[in-house]
Each structure stands twice: as structure tokens, then as C-alpha cells.
Structure 1
């Protein structure tokens, strides 16, 4: 019987699962002009998925062969599966990797999906043929694997038959995937692991054998790999990031199916690491293939490798804040949707596993350090924006001796923070903004002498008055701050005022406030170069001017220069102009070094976190 493709029209693609990968799959279809309906049982996951699509759909179009579609696809979400798939022409399940759950899911799809609907599994571990227990014989011909990796960073999608699939489905789906900017590949027959994962599995097995036989260590293996393949994704680091327990689970499938000897691979991994609680980044205190403390890659074994390493960014130690809303967050633990899974991480070398210094924070956002007294200072936005439970905290640089400097209903959602040592006044002050508090603050490093410097009118919901980023220019005795405006609105502004109040004035009536820049997409964090007076800032707004790093001279021609773009919601930045670079972090889980002269971005760290503030640790 000849297969006829489904008539698409306005019918949606249904994505089962609104998590990190599910929402990315959905965004690729919306960017390609296809309507999408997401099904997820958790309200916060649905809300976050829809927000992600809205904020990222334009970025995904850069990979589409025809650019931005005449019209983006629509996107909706629902709790129940029957509503989600009612009129779908394609369903892709991205539910957890539990075979019983997938079998039940496909049984429901056979019951509720239209008769011509193609049913795809995003499983990375299981053949779709293992999911057919509750699927009718006729429907089996429409089932296949459609396995995504991590768009848009990795755009490969591998297709595979369930043993019954109409062969005409694969070129049809491949054409759709190309229209969405993906890179499809079709396995010619059923194969555990598809194509690339089989290659990757072989690499992992040999690396584990090398480690088990004590021929080398993780850092040396990664150093060789980086040089030989000029790669930034390194195998031992990647296994630590994925989690060694997950690595073992996947390897079990290959061992069971092919009757492989696991004594020097998965058995050794479990006895030497997993049973001891060493899982990688899931257990930062215990470590994984890399030790708990971040270590630099061992010196390369030849001059060519040394030269290649020397040409990369020079990176001082970096403290970076993970707000706790990425894929590494176990759930959505508060009703307001703000995670309490925030972390302070330390990065000591490019593309090396970070060390978690402090965990369990309620949405950390801004950070600065003072090595002279061995302390760091940071803000937490809090677990509920309506409760004024934001805090200002400090700790030693190793994460001990934590102290709350300001709290107890004083702050709403404190954001960027900087430490300012004013030699003229003989003071050390922490300056920071309070977003929903619509205000700018400063206090001593112990939290005393707390002052409100700017108090805008308006309430929590008045986005035009939200204050976010801050920097201080002691040379001109002025401080600058951003008011980002509504999301992606091109209504962002940068203000400045004098450090010292004029006589008789206060935070609500000061007359020295001036708008320096306006009509910006969505400016966030700030820093100023004191010698030249050049102001630098990140911008989370719409492309092409948003999602960018910018600079301008406030007292010069005020011409805004776009230094770098195509970030994923950039927030924190730190100047390192002696080395002609700027470090930037974004909510997409990346830390970049940006060359000031060329604008070239180099990823110095990337995972599935969600990064807000960062600061570099000055070298002694």
C-alpha cells in the first residue's frame, strides 16, 4: 500500500514534554513556520516552555534555509494528551527515558491521535520498536525514532524505523526538518544508539578502559582530544556533565544487546565512581572523572598543542551565578516559579568542570569579590517576587561563613551588585539595583548604613521603572543604572546621577537624574572603563540589536557600538581590557570571552545551567 503524507495546513506538531529539550524542539518548528502544541502535566513547565519559544524563536530562524518565515507558527500548551494531539499531523514524545512510560504513551497516542498522524520518539536509548506493545498493527507503520540532540547548538536529528515504518516517511520528515534548520540523518535499519551515538559509545568505552587500566587520566585524555580534533567539547568533561550514572545506564543497553564485557567499562565505573557517589557535576563535592576541585588541563604533549592553547583566551578564575532555572534544576520548587536551586560556581580554566562553592540559593543574580579580605558579595532575587524576600549576602571565597547583610522585607528582587572602594571618601560600599523595588541602593560591606539612592514611582508591575544593572564612575563621581523596560520592547534606558546627594534632596526627588541612552532593546548589566569613560552593557532584547554586548561614550558622540551578538539572553559581564577581552554569561548556560577589537566570541564554559552574574578574581 502506497503511503500518502498527512495534509499539514494549520494542523500542529504536538510535543509531549515541555522540558529543556522539548521546548527547544518546539521552537525549531515554530521558527520554521509550523504550528506547535506542547503537552506537559506541570503548569510551570508549560509556562516556561511558551516563554522560551517567544524569546528564542527569532534566534532559531538564523539556521532556516529561507531565513525568517512569512509567519511564525503558533504555539500553545495544555495539560492533557488528548487535547494536545487532537488534530496533530506529527507527534514527538520527549518524556523521561522509562520504557514503561513510553509504552503507555504510545498506547495513548494510538487511541487519541488522528489516523494519518506520524508518531515519533525522541528517545536516545530505546528503539521505537520496544514501545509498540499497545499500538495497533496499522499504526506501527507510522511510528519511528526522531532523535534530537540539543538545538540550536547541535542541530542533528537522527531518524530510524521501528521495523514497520513506511519508508516514504523518512524523506518527507527530513524535508520538514531541513525547513526548520535541522540536519537530518536516517539510519538504514534499526540500531541501538542510532549512528552518532554508536560512534560516541565506542569512544566512551575505550576511554573508560584506558582509565580502568590506569594508562592515563581524564585531563590528559581531554588535552590530547582537544589538540587532535581542535575541539571544545571534550569527552571526559562531557561524561562528567551528563552524569556518570547516566553514562553507565546507556552503556548497559549496549552490553545487554551485544553481550559485551563490561568489566573494564561500566562495572569499573560503578565500583570506582558511582558507588562512591562520584557522578560528576551532579555531585560537585565528590567530583567524577575529574576531582572535586577544578583543575587545569595537563600541559599538552607537544609544542603545536602548546601554541594552540596559547592562542585561546587567557582566563582568570571566574565566579559565576547559576540562577537555578536550567536543566540542572530538579523541579520547580516554588509556586512563583523562582527556583531555590541557585549556585555560586568557580571556573578556573576554559572548558573545565566548575566547582560549586554554594548551592541551594533562591535565584542569585549579582556578584562581586574582594580578595583583600577573602570575601564575596552577592544578591538573591528571592523565592517569591511578591514577598519582598530578596537578600544581600556575603561569604568567604571558598563559600564558607555565609552571612545575610540585608533581608527581612527590605528588598524585593536585588540584581547587579558591585563593590566600590572610594578613596576620596575613605569608604567601601556595595551598590546594587532592586528590580521590582524600582530602586537603586548602597550600603557598607557589612550591610550597615543602607541608603536608597533612587526611588522610582510605580509598583512591582511597572516594568518601565524596573532598575537592573549598575556601575560607578569615581572619576566623574557619577553612577549609572539600567531600566530595561518591558521584555523585547526597545524601550530600555540607561540613566546616571551624582554619587552624592544635593542638599535637601533624597531618592524620590533628586534633580540630577539624566537619561544617557534610550530606545535600547533591553539593557541589563553595566560596567564602565574608568580611564576612558566608555560604558559597556549587555542587552537581552530582540535581534538584531538585542542579545548583544554593546559600548558607547556617554560624554562623547554617544554612538552605540555593537561589539558582539547572538548570545542567549546575556546578563553578566566583566571587563578584562588588559587582555583586550570581556567576559559575558547568559541564561543559555554559556560563559564567553569576547575579543574587544574583533568581537569574536569564544566559549570558555557551557553546560545546561542558566547564568546571571559573574566576576573575575584578580590575580595576586
Structure 2
């Protein structure tokens, strides 16, 4: 019998289960333009699933071919399985990992689903061939595994036959999955654990044995894994996120089928964790492989990450998101302003097509953001200072047209003493420090070094202001990896005319630090007199986040430099969040980190193939 693809039209994809994974599966289809119906007996789960799609469907379109389709699919939810599947062309079960439940579920689907409906199981460990006890012979040809990992962070979907499945179903479903931004793979034959999960199961098994034997602990294993593979996806955190009870269910299946010894894996896990109510994400108060203070407390987040405010980050456009680098012009108009609202979630693009954006700040009270663009051609002096509303609309050029060369880091300063709001920023190849009003008026050059475009020692990059001491700080990074970087300061209220000087020869400039690897962005905590900065220079002192107390408030300066965190991938922007005892840092390697001020521990809150320069958090959130 030749298989024919089902007619889709307005028919829905039905997802059985509105939990953490079910709602993500549903959201991917909505983003791909397919109508979706979620079935879950819990009213709270249904409400949460619909809200998740409301909040995240735009994120998911980031991965769809050519961006968002028109329009989004519709999405509804109900408690009754017969109603949910009666007109579906595809059903995917995402119910708990219990084989008896899955067998019963497929029996109901055989009874209620249309004859041409494809029936998929999202099981992470059971072959769909084990779920057919109540399924008719003819219907078995329509059943298969459709196993999602954890979209949108991990978009792999593994397809596998139940032993009877029409082979034409797999290329058809693969095409559908690609439309939804997923990455499909098809197992060549039935296999417990599919493709990746077999490899992953072996990793988990050996990790549990390592823990059971007391050779190491979860945090150390994850730290080694993260460093070795340069990834934020680490195994012990992943097990806590999935839930240790689910990990045990999955491992039981391998043990039973392959006659494995579970004494140092699943038995140890049950005796030391599960029977004590330590399940990980599901029990944040009791903890899991990690203790309660650091256990994953929400899907994809640690306790520290849970405190992440919205972050505006600049993608300079030099990463893998520039298609094939066809020309310098294409690269130099590939910059974006992105908004991150949750850890390890796809960002929302607010502004695109920018020429190498570098520094950013926001003013929530005015609903405005401000940023610099380095421009495409140094010799043309086509750098600019721009502004827009916080949603990326109402874009305005504040300074441009040959005024700036390569403007860099930027800070908005609300000065109550003078009653002004000023934007301070550096111009790298312009070898200068600037400020202006938030509408671009009253533009002033505060510092003008004698060098030109090629004089790297005079290049000005990062900037901050200490309102308490009325001081202006900036960095001059020097040649790359040269250990000739310097941090300067001067009076922010300096009157050139009264002193008979100019921006080129003012006498109040002093060197605060010299012989630094390559200092970049700065921020000051005025109350404590502590200066923080990123350094993109060479290891061991470079690729680091640093601080020093530079204002002793009458007791003299104390300039001992402390390295708070290292091993970034060329860090650029930083933003203090000291109320939560953390600092956010972004790097050219495409990562945004939260750094604990007290311990220096780095947590990746976002990582992709971008190339990040400036960032700022939305205060008060």
C-alpha cells in the first residue's frame, strides 16, 4: 500500500501533555505556522502552556527558515483527549515516562484519531514498538518516535520506526520539522535510546558511578565538562533539570533490556536522592545532585540565573550569523540590538542592519535606549550615535555625518548636581572622549589625544563616570595583546577656558593603571570607590573581569588590582548588578555571563554564534 501524506489545511497538531517539554514542542509548531491543540488534564498546566506560547512564539521564529512565517498558527488547549485529537493530522504524546501509560494513550489514539493521522511518541527511552499492545495492525504503520530534546536551546528531533512505520513518513516529517526550525535525524533501525540518547546514557551512567564511588562531585564534573567542551550544557545540571526520578526511569529501561548492574547508578540514585525527595528542578528546596542553594530552580536556570533582569546586548555582526561573509559591506550592516528576557532563551531582535554597534545604555523613564555604531569605513568617519524607543522603534541619529570616527562604549549619566542628562562615549580611532545631551545637542570633545587612526596607544575605548568624586574614567587599550593598556581619569567638570587649556592639552589627566593586557569597558561603583573593567588581552591576566578600589574617600587611593573572573572569550561589555551581587559580562565569543561578585563564579545565561560588544540591564526589573 502506497502511503499518502495527510491533508493539513487548518487541521491541528495535537500535543498530549502541556508540561515543560510539551509546551515547547507546541510552541515550535505555532512558530512554524501550524495550528496546535494541547491536551492536558490539569487546568494549571493548560494555562501555563498557552502563556508560554504567548511569551515565546516570537523567539522560536528566529530558527525558522527565512524568519517568521505569516501568520503564526493558532493554539488552544482542552482536557478531553477525544476532542483534542478528533481532527488532528499529527499527534505527539509527551506524557510521563511510564510504559503502561503510553500503551493506554496509544490505545485511545487508535480509537479517536483520524485514520490518516500520524501518531508520534516523544519518549526519551521507550521504542514506540513497545507501545502497540492496544493498536490495530493497520494503525501501527502510522506510529513512530518523534523525540524532541529541549527546544529552543537544543533543537534536535530524532525520528524512529516502530517496526511497521511507512518509510515515506520520515522525509515528510523531516520537512515539517525543518519548517519549524528543528534539526531532524532518523534512526536507521529500532534502537532503545535512539541515536544521541544512547551516547548520553553512557555518559550519565559513568557520571553516576563516579559520584557513587565518591571520586568527584556534581559541580566539579560540570566545571571540567564545560571547560573541556566549551559549552554551558553540562551533565549534572542537565540531570537536575530533567529530574532525577526521570533519570532513574530512563536508566531502568536500559538496565532491564541490557541486563546491566544498577547498584552504582540507579540504585545509588534512589537510595541517596530520590527516596529523600531530592529530585533537582522539581524539588528546589531539597536540591538534587546540586544542593538547594544552587540547584536548578526553573527550566534552564540556576538560582543566580533566576535573578536575571532583562538585558539589552549588542551583536556587532561579526559572528556566524553573517551569511557567508559575502563582503565587508554585508558584515558591517549585520549588527543587531537584542533583548534577553530569560536565561538560555532565544533573544528578541529589536533593531537590525546596524553598522558595527559597540556601546549601549538605556533610560526606562524616557523609554529610550542609546547606542554607538563604529561604522563601515574609518576613513569616511561614518560612525554614529543613535537612539530609539526600548522596543526598537522611532530610531534617530543623534550624531553622524562625519563627526565621529569609531565611537565605542557609552554611558548615560543623570547628574543631579548639574541637573543634566549626558551621554559620555569614547571614539577609538578618533582618539578622543566625548559627551552630549541625550538629543545630540551640546556635543563636546572632553579629551583629544594627538594620535591619529594608526596610533593605537592613543585609542580611547571604554568609559565611566564617578559622580560622587566628579571623575571621568576611560581606557586606552594599546596594541592587541601588548600589555600596554592604560586606564586614565580626569575631572568631569573641568573648565578649559578658565584653565586656558583645551581638550588636547588639559593638565588634570592622570594615569590610574598602566601595563594592563588590553582594558576595554569600565563601570564605577561610586559609593565604594571600586572600579570594574573587562580586559580582552592575553591570558593569564587578560580575558578577564577586574576590579580595584581607586577612590579612598579621603584615605588615598588603593590600587591593588583583583581579577574577579577569567577565561572569557575576549570580554567587552559589562554591567554591574550589585543589588543581586552579580556582574553581567558579554564577549566576542557569543556569550553573556553572570559573575558572582563574591566567588567569581561565571554562569552562562546566553550563548550562541553571535559576537557581543556592549550590554546593559533594564534597571528596576
TM-score by length of 1: 0.56
Q: Which of the numbers 135, 146, 167 marks the counterpart of 1:259?
A: 167
In 1, Cα distance between equivalents of 2:28 and 2:439: 51
> How far 1:338 sits from its partner (Å)?
5.0
Query: Residue 220 and residue 301 in structure 1: after superposition, are their counterparts in 2 closer, same or farther (change >3 A)?
Result: farther
How many residue pairs are counted as aligned between the two chains? Answer: 380
- 1:244-393 to structure 2, matched below 5 A, reads 259=167, 261-262=169-170, 265-266=173-174, 268-269=176-177, 274=179, 279=181, 302-304=282-284, 308-309=296-297, 311-313=303-305, 314-332=307-325, 334-335=327-328, 339-393=332-386
In 1, Cα distance between equivalents of 2:50 and 2:332: 33
In 1, Cα distance between equivalents of 2:478 and 2:506: 21
Q: Which of the numbers 506, 509, 514 marks the counterpart of 2:510?
A: 514
SS of 1:597's equivalent in the other structure is coil
In 2, Cα distance between equivalents of 1:335 and 1:424: 45
CA contact (8 A) 1:413 1:434 kept: yes
SS of 1:516's equivalent in the other structure is strand
Query: Residue 330 and residue 268 in structure 1: after superposition, are their counterparts in 2 closer, same or farther (change >3 A)?
Result: closer
In 1, Cα distance between equivalents of 2:514 and 2:149: 43
Q: For residue 607 of structure 2, what is the aligned residue in structure 1?
A: 606
Deviations 1:86-141 (A, max 9, x none): xxxxxxxxxxxxxxxxxxxxxxxxxxxxxxxxxxxxxxxxxxxxxxxxxxxxxxxx
Structural RMSD (CA): 3.8
- 1:193-272 to structure 2, matched below 5 A, reads 214=38, 235-239=150-154, 259=167, 261-262=169-170, 265-266=173-174, 268-269=176-177
CA contact (8 A) 2:153 2:345 kept: no
Bigger CA radius of gyration: 2
SS of 2:579's equivalent in the other structure is helix
Q: Does residue 547 in structure 1 map to residue 511 in structure 2?
A: no
SS of 2:380's equivalent in the other structure is coil
SS of 1:237's equivalent in the other structure is coil
Query: Residue 500 and residue 208 in structure 1: after superposition, are their counterparts in 2 closer, same or farther (change >3 A)?
Result: closer
SS of 1:304's equivalent in the other structure is coil
> How far 1:352 sits from its partner (Å)?
0.8
CA contact (8 A) 1:333 1:340 kept: no
CA contact (8 A) 1:342 1:361 kept: yes
In 2, Cα distance between equivalents of 1:487 and 1:301: 43
In 2, Cα distance between equivalents of 1:322 and 1:432: 18
In 2, Cα distance between equivalents of 1:333 and 1:401: 30
Query: Residue 236 and residue 490 in structure 1: after superposition, are their counterparts in 2 closer, same or farther (change >3 A)?
Result: same
Q: For residue 619 of structure 1, what is the aligned residue in structure 2?
A: 620
In 1, Cα distance between equivalents of 2:366 and 2:594: 27
> How far 1:573 sits from its partner (Å)?
0.2
Query: Residue 207 and residue 218 in structure 1: after superposition, are their counterparts in 2 closer, same or farther (change >3 A)?
Result: farther
CA contact (8 A) 2:322 2:331 kept: no
> How far 1:543 sits from its partner (Å)?
0.2
Deviations 1:293-345 (A, max 9, x none): xxxx99x9833389632623310000000000101111435547852100000
SS of 2:469's equivalent in the other structure is coil
TM-score by length of 2: 0.56
Q: For residue 448 of structure 1, what is the aligned residue in structure 2?
A: 441
In 2, Cα distance between equivalents of 1:600 and 1:592: 10
- 1:107-256 to structure 2, matched below 5 A, reads 214=38, 235-239=150-154
Query: Residue 219 and residue 572 in structure 1: after superposition, are their counterparts in 2 closer, same or farther (change >3 A)?
Result: farther
Query: Residue 441 and residue 611 in structure 1: after superposition, are their counterparts in 2 closer, same or farther (change >3 A)?
Result: same
> How far 1:214 sits from its partner (Å)?
3.8
Q: For residue 595 of structure 1, what is the aligned residue in structure 2?
A: 596
In structure 1, runs of 5+ residues without a counterpart are: 1-202, 282-296
Q: For residue 193 of structure 2, what is the aligned residue in structure 1?
A: none
Q: For residue 167 of structure 1, what is the aligned residue in structure 2?
A: none
Query: Residue 220 and residue 337 in structure 1: after superposition, are their counterparts in 2 closer, same or farther (change >3 A)?
Result: closer
In 1, Cα distance between equivalents of 2:576 and 2:27: 43
In 1, Cα distance between equivalents of 2:168 and 2:516: 59
Q: Which of the numbers 520, 524, 544 marks the counterpart of 1:524?
A: 520
Q: Which of the numbers 472, 478, 490 marks the counterpart of 1:485?
A: 478
SS of 1:549's equivalent in the other structure is strand
Query: Residue 390 and residue 220 in structure 1: after superposition, are their counterparts in 2 closer, same or farther (change >3 A)?
Result: closer
Q: For residue 265 of structure 2, what is the aligned residue in structure 1?
A: none
CA contact (8 A) 1:208 1:269 kept: no
Query: Residue 209 and residue 466 in structure 1: after superposition, are their counterparts in 2 closer, same or farther (change >3 A)?
Result: closer
Query: Residue 209 and residue 550 in structure 1: after superposition, are their counterparts in 2 closer, same or farther (change >3 A)?
Result: closer
> How far 1:547 sits from its partner (Å)?
0.2
- 1:574-589 to structure 2, matched below 5 A, reads 574-589=575-590
SS of 1:612's equivalent in the other structure is strand
Deviations 1:466-524 (A, max 9, x none): 00000001111110000000000000000000012231222111000000000000000
Q: Which of the numbers 385, 402, 409 marks the counterpart of 1:409?
A: 402
> How far 1:260 sits from its partner (Å)?
6.1
Deviations 1:143-177 (A, max 9, x none): xxxxxxxxxxxxxxxxxxxxxxxxxxxxxxxxxxx
> How far 1:267 sits from its partner (Å)?
5.1
CA contact (8 A) 1:336 1:384 kept: no
SS of 2:153's equivalent in the other structure is helix
Query: Residue 464 and residue 209 in structure 1: after superposition, are their counterparts in 2 closer, same or farther (change >3 A)?
Result: closer
> How far 1:266 sits from its partner (Å)?
2.8
> How far 1:554 sits from its partner (Å)?
1.6
Query: Residue 426 and residue 334 in structure 1: after superposition, are their counterparts in 2 closer, same or farther (change >3 A)?
Result: farther
SS of 2:386's equivalent in the other structure is strand
Query: Residue 337 and residue 457 in structure 1: after superposition, are their counterparts in 2 closer, same or farther (change >3 A)?
Result: farther
In 1, Cα distance between equivalents of 2:603 and 2:544: 14
